[in-house]
């Protein structure tokens, strides 16, 4: 797909880039299941046949959309003094992108980083350079470790926010409505009951951010223990 040339005359406004942009708008609004080539063609005032001149299948369209989203992720330069701060910035940028595009993390949860698009390859290369500069002998293992955590928690968080959005309520109101049922379900489980006490005064987004940060720090602590000792000059 990444090397195949687009063929055939078409409307000037219809291009692979325009198709992918509109697909992402639809994905962000309604999710993967709601996207079809027919609906996308209708949004673009084009028939499905016209779309297939640029994108062969819906699977290809999803790969293009994934790669477009990866272009939004910021990876710090590898020559910085603090690899942990750089890795944290990259992880946070990925999480922000995944929450803007709730379908992204679930796609990666199915296929991992197996895509070969230019933005994803650049993302992986910059991460590899960062971990190599930090002294990891196998940067790909560090990448896999960090991304497995970030993709996993982002998938869960994006699914939660999608559920909240579909309720039509704010996250705070949604939690408040569900809390009595959660307290009742946890009443006979001592450790869980403590987790479902009075409503927290902390904003839900701050709680989610704190959970993300805690887990990421644990992952980076573990990786730091695997770093070979620095050789004296």
> Does residue 136 form part of some domain?
yes
> 159 and 121: one domain?
yes
> 132 and 211: one domain?
yes
State the CATH number of the domain containing residue 216.
1.10.357.10
User: Does an H or E element contain 204, and which?
Assistant: helix 204-225
End-to-end CA distance of the chain: 47
> Does residue 133 form part of some domain?
yes
> Does residue 95 form part of some domain?
yes
pLDDT of residue 87: 96
pLDDT of residue 168: 95
> Does residue 177 form part of some domain?
no
User: pLDDT 10s per residue in the chain (233 long)?
Assistant: 666 555 554 445 688 899 999 999 999 999 998 899 999 999 998 877 788 888 888 888 999 999 999 999 999 988 888 999 999 999 999 999 999 999 998 888 666 556 678 999 999 999 999 999 999 999 999 999 999 999 999 999 999 999 999 999 999 999 999 999 988 998 888 888 877 777 788 899 999 999 999 999 999 999 999 998 876 55
> 51 and 27: one domain?
yes
> Does residue 6 form part of some domain?
no
Residue of 89, 49, 42 lying closest to 216 (CA atoms): 89
> Does residue 148 form part of some domain?
yes
- Chosen domain end from 46, 70, 94: 70
> 27 and 137: one domain?
no
Q: What is the largest CA-CA distance in the chain?
A: 67
Domain that holds residue 57: 16-70
> 106 and 219: one domain?
yes
HSE on the CB side for 150, CA within 13 Å? 26
pLDDT of residue 10: 46
> 217 and 135: one domain?
yes
> 204 and 90: one domain?
yes
> 51 and 87: one domain?
no
Cα–Cα distance measured from residue 117 to residue 192, given in angstroms and rounded to the nearest whole number: 43
> 46 and 137: one domain?
no
pLDDT of residue 192: 84
pLDDT of residue 97: 97
> 62 and 34: one domain?
yes
> Does residue 192 form part of some domain?
no
HSE on the CB side for 172, CA within 13 Å? 7
State the CATH number of the domain containing residue 34.
1.10.10.60
CA-to-CA separations, 193 to 145, 172, 181, 186, 198, in angstroms, rounded: 32, 20, 12, 5, 10
pLDDT of residue 136: 95
Cα–chain center distance at 150: 8
> Does residue 184 form part of some domain?
no
pTM, to two decimals: 0.86
Domains in the chain: how many in total? Answer: 2
pLDDT of residue 2: 60
> 32 and 115: one domain?
no
């Amino acid at each position: 797909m990444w090397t195949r040339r687009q063929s055939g005359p078409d409307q000037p406004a219809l291009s692979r880039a325009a198709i992918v942009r509109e697909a992402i708008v639809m994905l962000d609004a309604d999710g993967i299941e709601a996207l079809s080539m027919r609906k996308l063609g209708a949004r673009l005032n084009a028939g499905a046949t016209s779309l297939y001149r640029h994108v062969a299948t819906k699977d290809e369209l999803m790969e293009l959309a994934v790669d477009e989203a990866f272009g939004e992720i910021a990876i710090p330069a590898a020559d910085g003094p603090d690899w942990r701060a750089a890795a944290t910035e990259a992880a946070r940028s990925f999480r922000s992108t995944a929450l803007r595009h709730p379908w992204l993390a679930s796609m990666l949860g199915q296929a991992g980083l197996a895509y070969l698009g230019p933005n994803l390859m650049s993302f992986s290369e910059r991460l590899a350079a960062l971990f190599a500069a930090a002294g990891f002998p196998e940067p790909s293992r560090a990448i896999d470790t960090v991304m497995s955590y970030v993709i996993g928690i982002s998938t869960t968080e994006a699914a939660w926010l999608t559920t909240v959005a579909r309720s039509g309520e704010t996250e705070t109101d949604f939690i408040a409505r569900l809390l009595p049922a959660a307290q009742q379900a946890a009443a006979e489980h001592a450790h869980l009951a403590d987790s479902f006490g009075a409503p927290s005064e902390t904003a839900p987004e701050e709680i989610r951010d704190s959970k993300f940060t805690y887990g990421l720090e644990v992952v980076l602590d573990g990786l730091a223990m695997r770093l070979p000792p620095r050789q004296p000059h």
